[in-house]
Amino acid sequence: MICDNIKIILERIEKAKNKVGLKKDIKLVAVTKTVPIDKIIEAIGRGITIIGENRIQEAEKKFREFPETVKVEKHLIGHLQTNKVKKAVELFDLIQSVDSIYLLEEINRQAEKIKKIQECFIEIKVSQEKTKYGLNPTELEGFMVKAEELKNIKITGLMAIAPYFENPELVRPYFHRAKEIFEQVRSHFLIPASDFPILSMGMTGDFEIAIEEGSNMVRIGTGIFGE
């Protein structure tokens, strides 16, 4: 089932790319929250190269159980509390959910302790939902200025989560706004595309719309692993 699901998702990604004439690759993050180890390893064996976890404690347990032969890039995509930063820096190659200067500074402190340059995305808030985390776009300039001062942080992209709608087409304005913000950050800070390449947005229910609006990294859980 997982093999077939991955094939279907990849075909849908290609179809969405072709619809808007995209040539560049779309990175696929398999969201492994609550997914058993054997299914994760199966997905990796079927070509998955990036996994995304939401919770530190769950991820730590899983990662300890991974065979040494399993090589996969690990992303934290869930909300990160400052008291979990030390462990997050130890466990993850990339933290997608950085949403405050205070959190960024703590990540830098913990990364410095283990002589690591921690790659991060800025999670931006594109809706007014109280249940959604993210940095207000009006705070981005101050955030980026601070990030440039921190020696153990590398910001390489933005992450956004759109509201849920029964009709996926209704998320389009939110993804469009995230793309606008992404381009504004690049242009305002004169960042080469190669240094700030990723716009992570789109999940199982809306990733095709996200790709059409500029996403080049999608986070798929249910579409790969089922309910």
User: What are the residues whose beta carbons fall under 8 Å from the beta carbon of 7, sequence distance 6 or more?
Assistant: none
The confidence band for 132, taking pLDDT boundaries of 50, 70 and 90, is confident
Model confidence at 128, pLDDT cuts 50, 70, 90, reads confident
Question: Which residue type occupies 137?
Answer: P
Query: Domain of 153?
Result: 2-225
Whole-angstrom distance, CA of residue 133 vs CA of residue 22: 30
Which CATH number goes with the domain that contains 215? 3.20.20.10
pLDDT score for 127? 85
Number of domains forming the structure of the chain: 1
Token pair recorded at residue 198: 């990723």
Q: How many other C-beta atoms lie within 10 A of the C-beta of residue 116?
A: 14
Q: pLDDT averaged over the chain?
A: 95
Question: How far, in Å, CA of 215 to CA of 137, rounded?
Answer: 18
Whats the size of the chain, residue-wise?
Answer: 227
pTM for this one? 0.96
- Per cent of the chain over pLDDT 90 is 89
pLDDT tens across 162-188, in order?
A: 998 889 899 999 999 999 999 999 999
